[in-house]
Amino acid sequence: MSERTALVRRPSPHLGDGIVTHLERRPVDAALAVSQHEAYVAALESAGWRVRWLPPADDLPDGVFVEDTVVICDDLAVLGRPRVPERVGEIPSMEGTVTGLGLEVTRIDEGFLDGGDVLQVGNTVYAGRSARTNEDAICQLTRQVATRGRRLVPVALNDCLHLKSAMTALPDGSLIGVPDLVDTSALPYLRVAQEPAGAHVVVLGEKQVLVGASAPRTAEQLAAEGYDVTVVDIGEFEKLEGCVTCLSVLIPGKPGCAERRA
């Protein structure tokens, strides 16, 4: 089986200047954020993911939230198009990295799209209509993922930064999230998370999941159901509306990763 790759970027020392939309700004401990990020990366590696580091972006406070810059669909990498001007500078380094991995690279050039608004479950791609992602971009993404046999389902959001702020999926493909934040009529089913942060689940393997320390009840419930649950504290990133999905881009089964570098 081909290697599984996780793309990550080190936090900027200016992380505390990152964009906050739905939360009151709080001070961020940059040193603690680095330690939390290191533990997050270690959890990915322990689950068998080979880490590839994106180039540093110390002048881009939100650069650590790499998920927003690209959507991976099999061997296709669709570069996002940030609505927020401060984040446009994150795209070129992601483009260079996915090109180096041998992926086919396309881009969103109509409207705006953040990767955090895109959730893939089997052959279905859910795309959130949010303040960061609009209809023009969703229409273009629909055409792009169709080339890989996927159908796209738009989902309206309510007072929520990204779709993955409201819901994610478990290894069996079932959706988990906060019903008040999404238009559930677009979904086949939505399991109610034990707490808001329980909507944020990263699938690491067939029975492996990663959740934040801010979702202890969800972690306990999933463990009781037989999942191998890894818990990481990303509290400094949560102050900026980040969650466990935001900090990596997972590419299952793609060869060509470089060695982990410091």
- Distance between CA 148 and CA 39 in Å, rounded? 34
Is 216 within 8 Å of 205 (Cβ atoms)? no
Is 218 within 8 Å of 205 (Cβ atoms)? no
Q: Determine how β-strand 118-121 pairs with β-strand 124-129.
A: antiparallel
Q: Which residues are catalytic?
A: 162, 246
- Distance between CA 15 and CA 56 in Å, rounded? 13
Distances (CA, A) of 175 to 170, 195, 197, 202: 6, 14, 14, 12
Is 176 within 8 Å of 149 (Cβ atoms)? no
